[in-house]
Amino acid sequence: MANPILSIVIPVFNEADVLPVFLPEIAEYAQSNDFVLIFVDDASTDESAKLLAAFCQKSKSTLLRHKVNRGYGGALKTGIKACQTKYVVTMDADGQHQAVDAGRLLEFGLAKGADMVVGRRQSGNSGLYRAIGRKMIRLLAGTLVSLPIEDLNSGMKLYRTRLAQGYLVLCPDGMSFSDIITLVFVHRNNLVLEHDISVRARAGGKSTISTRTALETVFEILNIVAMFNPGRIFLPLGAGFILFGLVWGLPFIIRDEGVSVGTMLLLVFGLIFFLVAIVAEQMAQLRRGQIQEDDIE
CATH code for the domain in which residue 41 is found: 3.90.550.10
Confidence of residue 105 (pLDDT cuts 50, 70, 90): very high
Per-residue pLDDT at 295 exceeds 90: no
Residue 294 belongs to some domain of the structure:
no
pLDDT for res 297 = 46
**Which parts of 34-160 fold into alpha helices (H)?**
48-59, 72-81, 100-112, 128-144
User: Does 192 share its domain with 235?
Assistant: no
Q: What are residue 188's phi and psi, to 5 degrees?
A: -85, 15
User: Does 14 share its domain with 119?
Assistant: yes
Confidence of residue 292 (pLDDT cuts 50, 70, 90): low
User: Does 251 share its domain with 116?
Assistant: no
Are the C-beta atoms of residues 227 and 41 closer than 8 Å to each other?
no
User: Does 221 share its domain with 252?
Assistant: no
Percent of the chain surpassing pLDDT 70:
82
User: Does 35 share its domain with 177?
Assistant: yes
At which of 177, 205, 226 does a domain end? Answer: 226
SS3 60: coil
pLDDT for res 253 = 84
Residue 49 belongs to some domain of the structure:
yes
Residue 121 belongs to some domain of the structure:
yes
- The average pLDDT across 74-86 equals 97
Residue 2: CB atoms within 10 A of its CB come to 4
User: Does 109 share its domain with 92?
Assistant: yes
**Which parts of the chain fold into alpha helices (H)?**
19-33, 48-59, 72-81, 100-112, 128-144, 161-167, 177-187, 211-228, 231-254, 261-288
User: Does 142 share its domain with 281?
Assistant: no
User: Does 203 share its domain with 113?
Assistant: yes
What is the spatial distance between Cα 201 and Cα 94, in angstroms, rounded to a whole number? Answer: 9
**Domain carrying residue 125:** 6-226
Residue 1 belongs to some domain of the structure:
no
Residue 269 belongs to some domain of the structure:
yes
- Give residue-wise pLDDT tens across range 46-61: 999 999 999 999 998 9
User: Does 152 share its domain with 284?
Assistant: no
At which of 177, 207, 226 does a domain end? Answer: 226
User: Does 211 share its domain with 119?
Assistant: yes
pLDDT for res 131 = 61
Residue 297 belongs to some domain of the structure:
no
What is the spatial distance between Cα 262 and Cα 92, in angstroms, rounded to a whole number? Answer: 54
At which of 188, 211, 226 does a domain end? Answer: 226
- Give residue-wise pLDDT tens across range 120-158: 987 555 555 556 666 666 666 666 666 677 888 889 999
If one counts the domains in the chain, the total is 2
Residue 61 belongs to some domain of the structure:
yes
pLDDT for res 230 = 84
- The average pLDDT across 191-214 equals 75
Q: What are the residues whose beta carbons fall under 8 Å from the beta carbon of 1, sequence distance 6 or more?
A: 34, 36
* Strand 157-160 versus strand 87-90 pairing type: antiparallel
User: Does 247 share its domain with 214?
Assistant: no
Residue 168 belongs to some domain of the structure:
yes
This prediction's pTM: 0.78
User: Does 220 share its domain with 236?
Assistant: no
